[in-house]
Amino acid sequence: MRIALVTLGGTISSEPLDGDTSPGPEAGGGAVVPVSGAATFVREVARYLPGITVVPVEMRMVPSPSLTVEDLRELAARITELVEDGDGVDGVVVAQGTDTIEETAYSLDLVGAADDVPVVVTGAMRDRTAPGPDGAANVVAAIRAAASAEARGKGVLVAFADRLHAARWVTKASTFRVDGFTSEPYGPVGIVAEGRVRLGAAPRPLPPFDVPDGPPARVAIVEAGLGDDLAILPALADAGYDGVVLAAMGAGHVPAAAVDAVALTASLMPVVLCSRTGAGPVFTHTYGYEGGEVDLLERGLLPGGSLSPTKARLLLMLLLASGLQGRELAHAFARHAEA
């Protein structure tokens, strides 16, 4: 069994800069940066993985907020290469910073990266110098999941704190806890316990999707707040944006004072309606008051389904880059958002 470990940087790879022997910030020492790649982790975790050969692939060494859509394209292509090589791997683990894990995992799910072998994304909440760093444990769990026959056909997974989450549903829910990821309201799809992977239900496979070449579309996320007129929205078109995701209140609502700005923006470019709450779908036919989801959808907004604003942004970027507009765009977005 051969599992590739692809490292991109992030907290899981972070420690003080070379020459700084002080502990990290939790002990009052210097700030940490990504410096340790896949080869370091292979040396640390190999003894916990009998029967599994871990193939180190050091692809990037950056904090995850600096990853780009082009990086994700290259990552998907690299996974394909690793699987299709003459002595190809049986699974792939991607280790990166937690800030954008949900976007990396979702993008890989969109392009079908896990169609041939299990693909599992992981990271760490504590850097390598913190007391009780969680990176190695998460890597071991992720590798065990990627080596498991049960993980085949389940789509891209995220392994964190011995839980397995579907890329479709996972979100980062804490800035500090080692169990910082959740899949509310659906819950994790599996666990890793006693070295064994145990999987339950998984979401339906996503519709096929080809990542377009060329520059990605520019899509902004704007969050609605109490008393906000959202006058900034129409200006996004003048600033060169191609679309916007509106992180609305509750099940998809904005103040009545914001409706004109929202409607004008929807006449200029695609606007996806999501919820800022962090769990649950945007409603489509419950609240009919001015600024309610029924009113907004009638004004041309696209329902975001159960997607978080960050994932809705990623999906809209890729669909717009594919050249889709109008009804074709709305149909394609709905197919993925409700899958």
Which residues are catalytic, by number? 11
Which residue type is seen at 109?
D
- Whether a cis peptide bond, with omega within 30° of 0, leads into 203 is no
DSSP category for residue 147: T
- How large is the C-alpha radius of gyration of the chain? 21
Q: How would you label 250-263 residue by residue, b for 16+ Cβ within 10 Å and e otherwise? A: bbbbbbeebbebbb
Q: How would you label 51-85 residue by residue, b for 16+ Cβ within 10 Å and e otherwise? A: ebebbebbbbbbbbeebebebbbebbebbbebbee
**List of E strands, the chain:** 2-9, 14-16, 32-34, 53-62, 91-95, 119-122, 157-160, 163-166, 171-172, 181-182, 190-193, 196-199, 219-223, 243-248, 271-275, 302-303
CA–centroid distance for 273 within its chain: 18
DSSP category for residue 285: S
| Burial of 322: CB neighbours in 10 Å, binned 0-12, 13-18, 19+ | middle
Direct distance between the N- and C-terminal alpha carbons of the chain, in angstroms, rounded to an integer: 32
